[in-house]
Amino acid sequence: MDSIKRSNAMTVDVEDYFHVSAFDSIISPSDWSSITPRVGDNTHRLIDLFNENNVKATFFTLGWVAKCCPDLIKRIVDEGHELASHGSNHRRHTSMSEAEIVKDIKDSKDILEQISGKPVLGYRAPSFSINESNEYVFDILVDLGFVYSSSTYPIEHDLYGVPNWPRFANKRKEGILEIPIPTILKNGKNKGIGGGGYFRLFPYWLSKKRIEAYLSQTKQPYNFYFHPWEIDPGQPRVAKAPLKSKLRHYVNLHAMEKKLKYLMADYQWDTMFKVYEREIKECSK
Ligand SMILES: [Zn+2]
């Protein structure tokens, strides 16, 4: 396949502002039901944006969100986007037992499939929390019927990442395709370029320069990920959060929507399943 004409994968991790790992020491899951959710409205706005720009996207969605917003789940599939799993309750795999991980992933797949009426084939671990300590998660994913995962980030980072893991889509020995978050090589180190945080921080021209460098360096599809709360400048501020978390979470929220429109216009996008369909099928042979 000609890599230049190949689409890139547009992905959204569907969770609310109070689910993010950076705030998990401040807001506990027992508080979630008493907070007014914003994820439904924000994700509906995102679907509008994608539809207006002829972009199909993959929505890695929490089971928690499916319970709170079943109409959103239906809309994602009815309008031709891909529904995938982000687990049930945004717990990092590094903080759960094997049995808890199985239950968290299975429950999310079950509720997403019940509401959508479609098989859920893709998975993204919360905070890319698959690492050397829990590679058995890939076996769990195969057992549960997933055909691909996008759960690893080969960078050095304080919260996640395994720097020496593969940078590109690879068949795991367990028989599942793993599609890592994209990186560029700079001074011998992998630099992450896949996500919303740096995209919000940097001016668009710089993000575009980095994406161009990735595309010409690697000849691989580019995968972008972000969250519905990143287009929501009006979200309540979590005052007690650590300064670093606040900087990461709140920088340039107001500018995200405009940058997304540039990103959608400058590249060709599709769902993760469609972009990697050939590799996924080769994996399951
Ligand atoms: Zn997440």
Can you spell out the DSSP letters for 65-115?
A: HHHH-HHHHHHHHHTTPEEEE--SS---GGGS-HHHHHHHHHHHHHHHHHH
| C-alpha 196 – ligand 1 centre gap (Å) | 12
Q: What is the mean pLDDT of residues 102-121?
A: 98
CA dist 251 and 200 (Å) reads: 7
- Distance of CA 173 from the midpoint of ligand 1 (Å): 25
Mean pLDDT over 234-240 rounds to 88
Which residues lie closer than 8 Å to 41 by C-beta, 6 or more apart?
none
CA 86–ligand 1 middle distance (angstroms): 7
Name residue 205's amino acid: W
285 CA to middle of ligand 1, Å?
A: 30
CB–CB of 51/265 below 8 Å? Answer: no
**Residues paired with residue 122 on neighbouring β-strands, in sequence order:** 148
How much is the pTM? 0.95
Q: How many angstroms does the Cα of residue 89 sit away from the middle of ligand 1?
A: 9
The fraction of the chain above a pLDDT of 70, given in percent, is 98
DSSP category for residue 142: H
Q: Which comes out higher in pLDDT, residue 119 or 24? A: 119
Model pLDDT, residue 240: 86
Give the range with max mean pLDDT: 26-35, 96-105, 196-205, 249-258.
Answer: 96-105
22 — pLDDT class (breaks 50, 70, 90) = confident
Give the model's confidence band at 2: pLDDT under 50 very low, under 70 low, under 90 confident, else very high.
Answer: very low
